[in-house]
Amino acid sequence: MRRFVMGVAIAMAALFTFALPADVAARNYSIVPEPAYMDIQPEGDYVVTAKTRIVVNDEAWNPAERFAEDMMSYFGMKKPMHTSKRGKGIKVRIDQFVPAEGYEMTISAEGIIIIGGSEAGIYYGLQTLRQIIITNDGKVPYGFIADEPTFAYRGAHLDVSRHFFSVEDVKNYIDIIAAHKLNRLHWHLTDDQGWRIEIKAYPELTEKGSMRKETLVGHGLNPVEWDGTPYGGYYTQEEIREVVKYAAERYIEVIPEIEMPGHSQAALHALPWLGCNEQIVDVWTTWGVTPEVLCAGKETTYEFLENVLDEVIELFPSELIHIGGDECPKDRWVECEHCQAMIKALGLESEEELQGYLVARIEKYLNSKGRRMIGWDEILDGGVTPTATVMSWRGINGGIYAAERGNDVVMTPMSLCYLNFYQTESREGEGLQIGGHIPFEKIYAWDVYEGMSDAARPHIIGVQLNMWSEYLKSMDMVEVMLLPRLGAMCEVQWSHDRRDDSTIRAKMELMRKFYEANGWQCAPYYFNFRK
């Protein structure tokens, strides 16, 4: 019966599309991302204070405890309690008839009732409540909300290879994306500029591969300069487990990325025998694409990758393991006797097909361990099995192609999802970034399904933002690039029906109060520009 109620609520949401902006303005109501259905009463508020009780059963205890912890810094809310007594307060419970990540919230003079389909559903309902409390000074307007996400995969990527972020920084990043109801952290742990994860079978990877001699200054234009300062860092396996646990408590799955066969110069510095010519190379000190890649013609390379993945699988319970697969120059393979012999032995036609062989072999290995492979859209080059998940970054066409052939796809096109790009056209006050221009409005207007056939749509499992760190040297800088654009991105990832620009602008003005209450920095130029 309750699933029917949710279905009706979502179907009716369109009827309220043009009524909600006025309601939002009149009632000072802000929820990001926009719920599937809201019925806000014209009068009446339930006021939440530090004394408000949170009443739960055993199933809902964990998300309620997270909520109380998050609210502690705001006004010292007490931990949840078990009770069957009648009375006012915030009451949460799980009901199997609500969709797993969905929730229903009823606000009246008697209190607030949140019913979720799972712990995650309860958590998302409490995040909605948290936003309302903070942006509306504790007053929660009477009404009813029914909500569930559009996409199952709602991701945020964080590159820690080009610039390293501490465990506490990563936790802070998790806190921010969790507050916006994202459920995947794509952790980019290895690249040319640094190997950041401890692998006990190969201690050289962190002993040598985690540190570069210096870092490029600026964009590397004439004159090309480096800062002359050694730079590095890595996570121990215990720290990896700590982050994974922290994310899981906020209903976020951490997907590790181990780059292969390109973007591997840090590994080649640590273990030169992984390369075609086995020459010693430095951990790379600049950005872009280096010709130094793993040798795809030697069995020792595959043994190495399998050993690394064994430890990665033990650390990360995620179903998906990201293998990179992007931007792999083939120059070394053309010259390599081992690679050419492998091509001949396998009856392959090209170096591109050799990469396809490597990708397929790694996918088969991951499948044998009960995991599934995800990679950037270059894994389509040379062929890939339908069981692989494709992350489409070079545009939308690769994602559409993959979806039409039956692969699951995460859409993350560079022109819409790279939040390390500039936010304003003038770039004033934004500091040095890698380039590009992705304003808030462009993200918000994105129709993920545009240009897709009916056959492709079911295979689009989600959307992801990417945060590459070439010029992001601190978490403060990451926050400014992330906020408020994450407000637009999470609407794309979650909401069934996004409102007009005037509504989102009004909501983001209120969300600035939410960000400040949590100690998160957001881009001031966005709000100044709006004025």
Q: Which helix (H) or strand (E) holds 37?
A: strand 37-47
- In the predicted model, what is the mean pLDDT of residues 159-184? 98
DSSP code per residue over 447-485: -TTTT--TTTGGGEEEEEEB---TT--SHHHHHHHHTTH
Q: Would you say residue 11 has pLDDT above 90?
A: no
For 153-498, CATH number out of 3.40.640.10, 3.20.20.80, 3.40.50.1580, 3.10.20.30 equals 3.20.20.80
| E strand map for 203-245 | 211-212, 231-232
What is the maximum span of the chain, computed from C-alpha positions, in angstroms? 77
- Dist. CA 98–CA 121, nearest whole Å: 9
Domain covering 2-147 in this structure, CATH number: 3.30.379.10
- In the predicted model, what is the mean pLDDT of residues 379-397? 90
Place of tokens 């006021």: 47
Buried b (16+ CB within 10 A) or exposed e, 63-89: bbebbbebbeeeeebeebeeeeeeeeb
Quote the pLDDT of residue 27.
65
Q: Would you say residue 73 has pLDDT above 80?
A: no
CA distances from 222 to 213, 219, 418, 427 (A): 21, 9, 26, 21
Whole-number average pLDDT of the chain: 91
Q: Would you say residue 171 has pLDDT above 90?
A: yes
- Dist. CA 475–CA 481, nearest whole Å: 10
- Dist. CA 207–CA 198, nearest whole Å: 9
Non-local CB neighbours of 452 within 8 Å, separated by 6+ positions = 400, 403, 460
Least confident of 83-87, 159-163, 232-236, 249-253: 83-87
Give tens-digit pLDDT for 92-146. 999 999 999 999 999 999 999 999 999 999 999 999 999 999 999 999 999 999 9
SS3 317: coil
In this structure, what token pair is assigned to residue 258? 């181990």
- Dist. CA 289–CA 329, nearest whole Å: 8
| Helix residue ranges, H only, 316-444 | 331-335, 337-346, 351-368, 397-404, 414-417, 440-444
List the one residue out of 346, 354, 400 whose CA is nearest residue 377.
400
| Helix residue ranges, H only, 249-336 | 265-270, 299-315, 331-335
Quote the pLDDT of residue 1.
39
Give tens-digit pLDDT for 219-278. 998 889 999 999 999 999 999 999 999 999 999 999 999 999 999 999 999 999 999 999
| E strand map for 192-295 | 194-195, 211-212, 231-232, 253-260
Query: Using 50, 70 and 90 to split pLDDT, how confident is the model at 87?
Result: low
- Dist. CA 132–CA 45, nearest whole Å: 11
Q: Give start-end residues of each CATH 3.20.20.80 domain in the chain.
A: 153-498
Q: Give start-end residues of each CATH 3.30.379.10 domain in the chain.
A: 2-147
Non-local CB neighbours of 86 within 8 Å, separated by 6+ positions = none
Q: Would you say residue 518 has pLDDT above 60?
A: yes
Task: State the catalytic residues.
Answer: 191, 263, 327
- pTM value? 0.95
